[in-house]
Structure 1
Amino acid sequence: MALQLSHAVSDGIRRTVSRTGGILFLGFLAIQFGLQISANSAVLGLLPPEAAEQFSQDAGLALPIPGSAGVALFVVIMILSSMYLVILSRTFAQPQSEMSRFPATSTRRLGRTTVFALVGGLIITVSIMLGTVLLVLPGLFLAVSFLFFMFAVAVEDRGIISSLKRSWGLTRGSRIKLGILVIVTALFGGVIGAVSPLLTLAGLSVAADIVTVVFTTAFFVPYYAIIASAYLQLRDGQGASNRSTQNPVDASEIPKL
C-alpha cells in the first residue's frame, strides 16, 4: 500500500487535539522540563567551583544539587522518558475512534518493552550518527528505515532485532515520503539550535530553556502522532496485501457466464 502522507498528517493532528492527546502533551512537557533541569544541574554540579560560579549565569533551569545527584536524576528521567514513549506509541497507534481514552494495553509488559526501547534506540542512534558522519544520505536512509522501530516494540511486542527488521520492511517503498518527515525534524532541530544560543547570549538563559522545551514538545507530540498514523497505514495495508496473497481467488470456482 502506498503511503498517503497528507492523510497521515491530518489524522495525526486529529489524534493530538483529542483529550488523550492533550494529556500526553502535558506529560511529555513535564518530562522534557525534567530532562533539561537535570542535565543543567549535572553539568553545573560537576564543574570546579570557579567554573561553576561563572557558568551558573548561563546555566538556565537548574537545581542546587551535587553533580552526581544531577546525573542520577537525569538517568532516572531518561528511563521514564523511554517508558513514556512506549505508552505514547500504544496510545497514538490505537483506532481514531478510541482516542478519547488510553488503551487497556498501555502499560502491558512495560518494563521489558522499555528495556528493548532503550537498547534498540541506542543501536539506532549510533547507526544514524555513523551514517551521518560518513555521508549524510546513509544517516538519513537509516533514520527513515528505523522510523517505526518503537511501534514494532511497543504495539506489536516484538524483540529488538525483530523490530528493526519489521520497521525496515514497513518503510520499504515509502522511504522518500517518510524522508520528508525526517528532514522536517532536522530543520526544526536546526531552528531550535539557532534560537536557544541567541537567547542565552542575550542573558535569557532561563527563557532559552523554556522556549526549547515548550517548542520541542509542541513539535514532537503531533509529529509522533503523524508517524503513528503512517505506521497504521502501512501496517494495515501490508496486512491486507498479505491476506489477499495467501487467499487468491480460484478462477475455476467462478461460474462461467
Structure 2
Amino acid sequence: MALQLIDAITDGTRRVLTRTGGVLLILLLAQQILLVTSINTLLASEALPAAADVIGLTIPVSGTVAGAILLGTFLFSGVYFVVLSRAFARPLSRLSSFPTELYTRRVGRATLSTLVGGIVVFIVVMIGFAFLFLPGLFLAACFLVFIFAVGVEDRGVISALKRSWSLSKGNRLRLVAIVLISGIVGAFVGAVPALFQLAGASALGDVVSVVINSVLFTFVYGITAAAYLQLARGDGGSGGPRSSAPTSTGPDPEI
C-alpha cells in the first residue's frame, strides 16, 4: 500500500489535537526541561565561572546529582516513547482517554528494547550520514516506525528493526519526507538558543527552545504514528502472531 502523505499529516494532526496529544505534549515538555537543565548543570559544574552566564538554564544541584537526573531522564525517555507509540496508535475515537495499560503493559521489556534499539538506529543512521548524507536519510526512513513495532506490537529489538524495514518497503521516499520535516524542525529549534545567547538571555532561550521543540515534535510524532497505521493496514498486520499488532479490520487498528 502506498503511503498517502497528506492523509498522514491530516490524521496525525487530528491525533495531536486530542486529550492524548495534550498529555503527551506535557510529558515531552517535562522530559525536555529535565534533559536541558541536567546537561547545562553538568556543563556549569565543569566550566569556568566566566562561562557560566552563557550556559543557559540550570538547576541548583551538584554535577553528580545532575548526572543522576540525566540518567533518569534517559530512562524516562524510553518509557515515554513506548507510551507515545501506544497512545497515538489507538483509534481516533479513543484518544480522549489515557488508560493505565499504555504505561503498564510489558513496559519494562518495551523500554529496554526502545533504548537498545534506539542506540542501534542512531549509530547506523549516523554512519549513513557520514557516507555522503543520502544513506543516512535512507536508513532513517527504513527505521522510522521502529518504536511502533516495539510499543504497539510488543516486539523485541531485532524483530522490531526487521518489521520497520519491511513496512518501509515501497514507501521510503515518502518516509524520507517525514525525516526531512524532523530535520528542519530540529535545525530551527537548535538555532533558537544561539539567538537568545547573543542577546544575553541564554536561560530564556532554553525555555523558548524547549516549548517550540516539544510542540513541533509532538506533531511530527503524531504524523509518524498516522504513517505507521497506514503502512500496518496495508501490510495486513502480517508481522507475526501478536494480538496487539494493528490489523486491517475496522477504521483504525487497536492496541
In 2, are the aligned partners of 1:128 and 1:139 still within 8 Å (CA)?
A: yes
**Is the 2:185–2:217 Cα contact (8 Å) retained in structure 1?**
no
Residue pair 2:29, 2:211 contacting (<8 A) in 1 also? yes
Equivalent pair of 1:116/1:160 in contact (CA under 8 Å): yes
Q: Give 2:18's aligned residue.
A: 18
User: Is the counterpart of residue 95 in structure 1 residue 103 in structure 2?
Assistant: no
Q: What one-letter code is carried by the residue in structure 1 that aligns with 2:215?
A: A
Instruction: Give, in angstroms, the shift of residue 84 of structure 1.
Output: 1.1
Q: 1:230: which partner in 2?
A: 227
Identify if the C-alpha distance between structure 1 residues 206 and 104 changes in structure 2 by more than 3 Å, giving closer, same or farther. closer
Normalization by structure 2: what TM-score? 0.90
Aligned residue number for residue 177 of structure 2:
180
Provide structure 1 residue ranges, at least 5 long, that are not aligned to the other structure.
Answer: 243-257
Is the Cα contact below 8 Å between 2:9 and 2:223 reproduced in 1?
Answer: yes
Percent identity of the aligned residues? Answer: 45
Alignment match of 2:203 (pick from 195, 202, 206) = 206
Aligned residues: 238
Q: 1:155 to 1:240 in 2, by over 3 A?
A: closer
Give the Cα–Cα distance (whole angstroms) in 1 for the partners of residues 17 and 35 of structure 2.
Answer: 25
Question: Which of 77, 85, 100 is the matching residue for 2:81?
Answer: 85
> Contact 2:12–2:226 (CA<8 Å) still a contact in 1?
yes
Contact residue 15 and residue 21 of structure 2 kept, 8 A: yes
The one-letter code of the counterpart of 1:61 is L
One of 109, 113, 119 as aligned partner of 1:112? 109
- 3-state SS of paired residue (1:106): helix
Runs of at least 5 residues in structure 2 that lack an aligned partner in the other structure? 240-255
User: 1:30-41 to 2 correspondence within 5 Å?
Assistant: 30-41=30-41
Deviation per CA, 1:191-238: give whole Å up to 9, x if none.
222232121121010111011100100111111011001101110111
Q: In 1, are the aligned partners of 2:20 and 2:88 still within 8 Å (CA)?
A: no
**Which shows bigger deviation, 19-28 or 212-221?**
19-28
User: How big is the shift at 1:241?
Assistant: 8.7
> 1:152–1:166: 8 Å Cα contact kept in structure 2?
yes
Q: Which amino acid is 2:149 matched to?
A: A
CA distance in 1, matches of 2:142, 2:52: 41
Structure with the larger helix share: 1
Q: CA deviation at 1:35?
A: 0.8
1:160 to 2:146 alignment = no
Q: In structure 2, the residue corresponding to 1:78 is in which secondary structure? A: helix
Alpha-carbon distance in structure 2 between the residues aligned to 1:100 and 1:146: 29
C-alpha distance in structure 1 between counterparts of 2:17 and 2:144, whole Å: 23
Task: Provide the C-alpha distance between the structure 1 equivalents of 2:218 and 2:189, rounded to a whole number of angstroms.
Answer: 16
* CA-CA distance at 1:240 after TM superposition: 7.2
Root mean square deviation, CA, Å: 1.5
The structure with more radius of gyration: 1
2:129 aligned with 1:132, yes or no?
Answer: yes
